[in-house]
Amino acid sequence: MTAVSPVVKPVSQMRLAPGSKVNIQDISWEEFESILQELGEKRSLRVAYSKSTLEIMVPLPEHEKSKDLISDIVKILLKIAGKSYEPFGSTTFKRENTAGVEPDACFYIQNYQRMISRRKLEPDDPPPDLAIEIDVTSKTTLDAYVAIAVPELWIYDSKKLRIYLLRDGHYIESDNSPNFPNIPLTQIIAATVERAWQVGTVQALKEFEGTSIKGQTKVNERRKQTTASHP
């Protein structure tokens, strides 16, 4: 009787349609590292790895629009707040022998100074202060974020933004972001993303920035009045 050996294609030769997601079980850390090298950096698909499971995702075109728009909103909010930052896009973040994940977008805010000169991550670098995921609810991806200890994770899915904060080794959903206190992010981001589908991304961002600046101006005026009345 002739033995039949399974045919195994390199991951880079897999042909996946936009919106596809594939899970591969029993992948060792060494195999994960090898797959990352095989795929290279310039690619449309993204990966997550946790508990020996490799997840491969191919974003839909509308995924990219939402990702870019929410990233631009974050930059506007940071600018208005006068906060410096370093964006790290879809960099692959890893915890040795445990997990790996590639956010749709991410930002160093509290730790931005440390990351200014980084062309590639160093083993002792901190995780990003804020990571953003679009249309992702898989356990593999969330477990990877927990392992890497990203303190704040935004997930935009089904026209809704959810904010997750890392507490005692797991994520809890929150109505507020420590990076942007007193801003109703879940409402304004969802509204701006939907607005972009109606009037275009540039116009939606202009409207968002104008509204945000006016709001911040009012806050500053109230602070001045409070300070003046309490010398």
Compute CA distances 39 → 42, 174, 212, whole Å: 8, 35, 40
Note whether 204 and 195 are within 8 A (CB): yes
Torsion angle, alpha carbons of 131, 138, 90, 107, to 10:
0
How far, in Å, CA of 188 to CA of 139, rounded?
27
- For the entire predicted model, the pTM comes to 0.86
Give the whole-angstrom CA distance, residue 195 versus residue 200.
7
Task: Give pLDDT, residue 62.
Answer: 84
pLDDT at res. 81: 94
For 117-155, the pLDDT digits (tens) are 999 999 899 999 999 999 877 899 999 999 999 999 999
Angle between helices 201-229 and 185-199 (to 10 degrees): 150
Does residue 161 surpass a pLDDT of 70?
yes
